[in-house]
Amino acid sequence: MVYFIATPIGNLKDITLRALEALRAADAVFCEDTRHSVKLLNAYDIKKPLFSCHKFNEREAAEKIVAAAREGKEVAVISDAGMPVISDPGNIVCAELKKAGVPFTVLPGANAALSALVLSAMPAQRFAFLGFLPEKSGEKKSLLEQYKNLDCTLIFHAAPQDIDREIKCLYEVLGERWACAVREITKIHEEAVSFWLSQGLEGEKRGEYVLIVEGAKDVENPLNSLSGREHILHYMAQGMDKKDAVKQAAKDRGVTKSEMYKFSLDI
């Protein structure tokens, strides 16, 4: 049997009893980075043969996993953090196991995207997980165009060195939206910072990020693609006083007046 096992995303205590049982019973553990995974196993005094399974050798690793399972061995597949396959290696392994008729199962556990969605306090009834955006700008914008009109929360992964560029691209394609950057989940410096895409994320960028972005509020209302300040000025140009303009813009966007008020401070 092959087990796809979720591992902690920060705090090493966030591992399930089933995961520990499966790791202790495994004949081999395939992991994204052996140097990283050995720390987790050592923390629970588990000594097992470790083999790499990352994006550059996953197909080769899949062949070894299939062969080991056919020999009757217990195989564990883990990634550096969270659930294998989800923005991590493992999808090719799943496909090859299915193709070969080798049974496999999943041991659920920690997941960064869902944890960040909770911490963001943004609508969670419906959401779309898009993971890491493509590296090339054209491909990135093309992908976002496919999802810009969805009226559900959007979830992205982003590395610290990419976060500012990703936010800028999101604003260019999606227009002004409320967002939340979540990092260091389950760790000492865990934080969830809310902001408007037009403002960007302030402060030093450290740690892996999950970006939560509100869905399309009103596809038919072009005013929602303006910046918050421009939206308010639009109504003021029609004769509204600033207070009423802020109130109407907030209604258009489905946010509170206090959230819109900050855009009117210099008007």
pTM as predicted: 0.80
184 and 148 in one domain? yes
Query: Using an 8 Å Cβ cutoff, are 155 and 129 in contact?
Result: yes
179 and 117 in one domain? yes
Here the tokens at position 158 are: 């982003």
Distance, in Å, from the CA atom of 125 to the CA atom of 152, rounded to the nearest integer, reads 8
Q: How confident is the model at residue 220 (pLDDT cuts 50, 70, 90)?
A: low
End-to-end CA distance of the chain: 65
209 and 117 in one domain? yes
Q: What is the pLDDT of residue 254?
A: 79
Please, what's the b/e burial string for 104-116 (b: 16 or more CB within 10 A of its CB; e: otherwise)?
bebbebbbbbbbb
167 and 180 in one domain? yes
121 lies in which domain range? 112-213
102 and 61 in one domain? yes
Is 216 a residue whose pLDDT tops 60? Answer: yes
Is 13 a residue whose pLDDT tops 70? Answer: yes
pLDDT, one tens digit per residue, over 106-142 is 999 999 999 999 999 999 999 999 999 999 999 999 9
Here the tokens at position 54 are: 């990352």
166 and 76 in one domain? no
Q: Average pLDDT of the chain?
A: 94
Q: What is the pLDDT of residue 239?
A: 86
209 and 229 in one domain? no
193 and 140 in one domain? yes
195 and 232 in one domain? no
